[in-house]
């Protein structure tokens, strides 16, 4: 536990007789939990989106092409063209009340809700790209005396592009520390009971709220280049397992609730089928009322609110569909709170 008497030697009262006395006070003995999501621009403007995309798309975990090939494309084309269009899309979903993106709003709420479960654990949240950074928050936890820190990447399905990238940033940050905290990284939770039941329960509640039942349901996950899957990324298999478990829980067939992948970026072949094509085909084949569930996202964001709830809705209605609903992500629901508390308790076992 922290000893407030100063001056103080690090870590122990078992100091040798001739120990130096000028050591700065070091708080110690607490447990910290750091929730980490992807990251988001600071504002829905071209320049803020450019700053965000520059950091995001420079990560070799996200785009693994040789830098000599990728950087000219990134700086010559993508960062000149994409930010303006993406900023327009962020404007459509921006939370004006708190002047932030939904992803940031819900990530903060998730951390605040999780903190209510513990008296003696400090809970913080960070973003892999942009702010607040992982390094800033790990240093803040350390300064608050956390010598044991659990990091929970907020991605239910493991991918090198997301989960491993968080781990990279965590260890880059501790690399700069003299007295490193003990670090644990929570594993993927694609098949966790509380996650599947949370998805099932919030979906049922949503259908009750809207007052109609869909003819078909698309289980849409963020996509990846197929090459990453072929190189050993387990993401596709984790998505397929989440989809199967949710179908089993709800009594849905695979035909009724097919798996699809959204958010394709660039020219490479990505995981298929593409969600927008699946949604269009459903309308063309006579489905009138559909729902889209996006279990790969624990917080609503541009990909769920703009790409699906605005753009894919338009695709479906233009192709002859009549009713479309995007089921909200787990966000700041009690179900999400239970899930995070379960993960935090299990993964801090022996610490708390
Ligand atoms: C090569 C490009 C991309 C890969 C690979 C990728 C993987 C990936 N992303 C998420 C989760 C999110 N992505 C979000 C936005 C987003 N993703 C990409 C590109 C790749 N993602 C871009 C360019 C963007 C920005 C928006 C745009 O310009 O279209 C978000 C939302 C952020 C927000 O502020 O709302 C999330 C969340 C996962 C889970 C994943 C791999 C499994
Ligand atoms: Fe993405
Ligand atoms: Fe997108």
For residue range 280-302, what is the model confidence (pLDDT) as tens digits? 999 999 999 999 999 999 999 99
Which positions ≥6 away from 74 have C-beta within 8 Å?
A: 54, 57, 58, 63
* CB 97, CB 7: distance < 8 Å: no
Half-sphere exposure of 11 (CA within 13 A, CB side): 9
- 88 C-alpha to center of ligand 2: Å? 17
3-state DSSP call for residue 36? strand
Strand ranges of the sheet holding 121-129, from the earlier edge strand across to the other edge: 121-129, 30-39, 146-153, 182-185
| Per-residue DSSP letter, 66 | -
Candidate of 88, 106, 302 to mutate for ligand 1, largest count of ligand atoms within 8 Å of Cβ: 302
Give CA torsion, residues 49, 324, 320, 316, to 10 deg: 20
Q: Three-state secondary structure along 140-182?
A: HHHHCCEEEEEEEECCCCCCHHHHHHHHHHHHHHHHCCCCCCE
Mapping DSSP onto H, E and C, the string for 177-222 reads: CCCCCEEEECCCCCCCHHHHHHHHHHHHHHHHHHCCCCCEEEEEEE
8 Å CB contact between 35 and 124: yes
Ligand 3 centroid to 139 CA: how many Å? 32
CA of 308 from ligand 1 middle (Å) equals 13
Which residues have their alpha-adjacent CB atom under 5 A from ion ligand 3?
Answer: 263, 303, 307
CA torsion through residues 315, 246, 165, 180, sign: positive
ipTM over 0.95: yes
pLDDT tens, N- to C-terminus, the chain (352 residues): 344 433 344 445 566 677 777 677 778 889 999 999 999 999 999 999 999 999 999 999 999 999 999 999 999 999 999 999 999 999 999 999 999 999 999 999 999 999 999 999 999 999 999 999 999 999 999 999 999 999 999 999 999 999 999 999 999 999 999 999 999 999 999 999 999 999 999 999 999 999 999 999 999 999 999 999 999 999 999 999 999 999 999 999 999 999 999 999 999 999 999 999 999 999 999 999 999 999 999 999 999 999 999 999 999 999 999 999 999 999 999 999 999 999 999 999 999 9
**In the beta sheet, which residues pair with residue 153?**
36
Q: How many CA atoms lie within 13 A of 257 on its CB side?
A: 24
Residues 6 or more apart whose CB falls under 8 angstroms from that of 215 comprise 287, 288, 289, 290
pTM given for the model: 0.94
Do the Cβ atoms of 189 and 327 come closer than 8 Å? no
- pLDDT tens digit sequence for 172-213: 999 999 999 999 999 999 999 999 999 999 999 999 999 999
What pLDDT, on the 0 to 100 scale, is given for residue 156? 99
Q: Which residues line ligand 1 (CB under 6 A)?
A: 38, 40, 62-63, 82, 86, 101, 103, 155, 159, 161-162, 222, 224, 235, 263, 265, 296-297, 301-303
| Token pair for 143 | 């300064």
Cα–Cα dist 154/38, whole Å: 8
Ligand 1 center from residue 273 Cα (angstroms): 18
Q: How many helices (H) and strands (E) does the chain have?
A: 13, 8
Residue 37, both tokens: 């999501």
Domains defined along the chain, listed by start: 41-93 (no CATH), 193-326 (3.40.50.1400)
Q: What are phi and psi of 291, to 5 degrees?
A: -125, 150
CA atoms of 270 and 156, how far apart (whole Å): 20
In whole angstroms, give the CA distance from residue 320 to residue 285.
Answer: 9
277 marked as binding residue: no
Residue 5: per-residue pLDDT = 37
Q: How many CA atoms lie within 13 A of 192 on its CB side?
A: 24
């Amino acid at each position: 536990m922290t000893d407030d008497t100063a001056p103080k030697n690090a870590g122990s009262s078992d100091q040798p007789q001739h120990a130096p006395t000028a050591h700065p006070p070091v708080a110690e003995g607490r447990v910290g939990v750091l929730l980490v999501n992807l990251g988001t621009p600071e504002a829905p403007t071209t320049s803020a989106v450019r700053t965000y995309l520059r950091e995001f798309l420079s990560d070799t975990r996200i785009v693994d092409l040789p830098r000599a090939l990728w950087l000219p494309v990134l700086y010559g084309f993508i960062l000149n063209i994409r930010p303006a269009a993406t900023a327009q899309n962020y404007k459509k979903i921006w939370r004006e009340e708190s002047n932030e993106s939904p992803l940031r709003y819900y990530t903060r709420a998730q951390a605040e809700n999780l903190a209510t479960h513990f008296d003696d654990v400090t809970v913080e949240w960070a973003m892999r790209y942009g702010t607040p950074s992982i390094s800033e928050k790990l240093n803040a936890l350390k300064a608050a005396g956390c010598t044991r820190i659990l990091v929970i990447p907020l991605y239910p399905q493991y991918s090198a592009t997301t989960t491993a990238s968080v781990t990279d940033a965590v260890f880059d940050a501790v690399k700069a520390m003299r007295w490193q905290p003990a670090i644990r990284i929570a594993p993927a939770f694609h098949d966790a009971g509380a996650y599947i039941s949370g998805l099932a329960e919030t979906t049922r509640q949503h259908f009750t709220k809207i007052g109609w039942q869909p003819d078909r349901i698309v289980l849409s996950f963020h996509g990846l280049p197929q090459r990453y899957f072929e190189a050993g990324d387990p993401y596709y298999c984790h998505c397929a397992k989440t989809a199967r478990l949710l179908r089993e829980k709800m009594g849905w067939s695979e035909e009724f609730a097919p798996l699809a992948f959204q958010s394709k970026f660039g020219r490479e072949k990505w995981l298929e089928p593409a969600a927008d094509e699946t949604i269009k085909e459903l309308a063309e084949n006579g489905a009138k009322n559909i729902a889209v569930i996006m279990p790969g996202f624990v917080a609503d964001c541009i990909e769920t609110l703009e790409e699906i709830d605005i753009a894919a809705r338009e695709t479906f209605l233009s192709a002859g569909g009549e009713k479309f609903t995007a089921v909200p992500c787990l966000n700041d629901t009690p179900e999400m709170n239970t899930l995070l508390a379960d993960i935090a308790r299990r993964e801090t076992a022996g610490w708390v």
